[in-house]
Amino acid sequence: MVVLAKPPPALDQISLLRSPQPGDAASFFGVPAVDLSSPGAALAVVDACERFGFFKVVNHGVPTGVVDRLEAEAVRFFASPQAEKDACGPANPLGYGNKRIGRNGDMGWLEYLLLALDAGGHASSVSKASPVPSSSLRDAVNQYVTAVRGVATSVLEKVAEVLGVAPRDALSGMVTDAASDQVFRINHYPACPLLQRLPDACGVTGFGEHTDPQLVSVLRSNGTAGLQVALHDDGRWVPVPPDRDAFFVIVGDSLQALTNGRLKSVRHRVVANSLKPRVSMIYFAGPAPGQRMAPLPQLLGHGEQSLYRDFTWGDYKKAAYRSRLGDNRLDPFRIQ
């Protein structure tokens, strides 16, 4: 059987959105920054998770060399001939993807590599099922994800400590479990020439608005702006200034369900940049398929009812792959 490749999407199929203007009050939002090595880190993490579902981590202990090595490998991969990149795709769901996101018609101004990870002992590594273009990229990813998993587990231990969840590794252990479902994504958002020709145009969707499904995601980008988050209070979109030396932690739907909504996932998106390419790397810390996502009993106050019916990460994931990027994926599991 001959399968005809679909033609690449035209730019006008990638939606235009209005990005915040300098005059918007929300532009003055300061991203909360947590010094992970400070004694007050645990309280600061939970405060930021409750208020914004989002924060920046400094003094994270991940060596610069590990980050720079992966960025260099990623840049080399995205600069390689299209045929070599296509040989690692299409992303269904893993592998190289170009403009198409997921299976249900979402599009963005980016190309990417989506990889599944195996967890074992103290390390995470690219799973055999994921197509990787070179052994040098594979080695760089393995070193990076092992280091960044440490940031995710440290954040989750702090959440457990402050919320009074015992044992201390009740949440972080979901990520280090050998059966955990960890995913890693490297995105390349090329500079967008349309914006150069029409400087007053509203933003072009790099990656459409969504919440992340997992417990937490740990994002790092080069120095190019584009990430925006929606404030919990009023849904206003605010730009997140890039910081190549920091990581950004994003609360996902799983942590929202497990904490019965006390910590809330954050909607975020990426707007294309007119002049500079953006490269980001995101580690998604998901639990094992059989993990129950109902609120942890220790987090339900006396007489407090669960907001969610009993469901597993596997149930959520199955539904997620049928959803559009911008859908609210927790709603179907909510008790009315």
Residue whose C-alpha is closest to residue 309's, from 285, 292, 322: 292
Cα 323 to Cα 311: distance, rounded to the nearest angstrom: 17
In the list 100, 149, 210, 267, the residue contacting ligand GA4 (rule: CB under 6 A) is 210
Quick note: the x/- pattern for ligand GA4 over 58-97, rule CB under 6 A, is -----------------------------------x----
Which residue, 16 or 320, is less far from ligand GA4 as judged by CB? 320
Stretch that binds ligand GA4, among 76-84, 218-226, 262-270, 321-329 (CB under 6 A): 321-329
15 lies in the binding site for ligand GA4 (CB under 6 A): no
Query: With contact defined as beta carbons under 8 Å apart, do 271 and 205 qualify?
Result: yes
Q: How far is the CB of 66 from ligand GA4 (least distance, A)?
A: 21
Q: In what order do the strands lie in the sheet with 203-210?
A: 16-17, 203-210, 268-271, 227-230, 237-239
Q: How far is the CB of 160 from ligand GA4 (least distance, A)?
A: 23
3-state secondary structure of 142: helix
At position 298, the amino acid (one-letter code) is Q
Cα 188 to Cα 71: distance, rounded to the nearest angstrom: 11
| Partner residues linked to 95 by β-bridges | 114
183 lies in the binding site for ligand GA4 (CB under 6 A): yes
Which residue, 176 or 265, is less far from ligand GA4 as judged by CB? 265
At position 96, the amino acid (one-letter code) is Y
- CA neighbours within 13 Å on the CB side: how many for 222? 18
Total residues binding ligand GA4 (CB under 6 A):
17
100 lies in the binding site for ligand GA4 (CB under 6 A): no
Query: With contact defined as beta carbons under 8 Å apart, do 126 and 133 qualify?
Result: no
Which residue, 14 or 183, is less far from ligand GA4 as judged by CB? 183
Residue whose C-alpha is closest to residue 57's, from 274, 251, 321: 251
Quick note: the x/- pattern for ligand GA4 over 276-305, rule CB under 6 A, is --------x---------------------
In the list 95, 203, 213, 226, the residue contacting ligand GA4 (rule: CB under 6 A) is 213
Using CB under 6 A as the criterion, which residues of the chain lie in contact with ligand GA4 when the complex forms? 93, 101-102, 104, 106, 114, 183, 185, 210, 212-213, 284, 320-321, 323-325
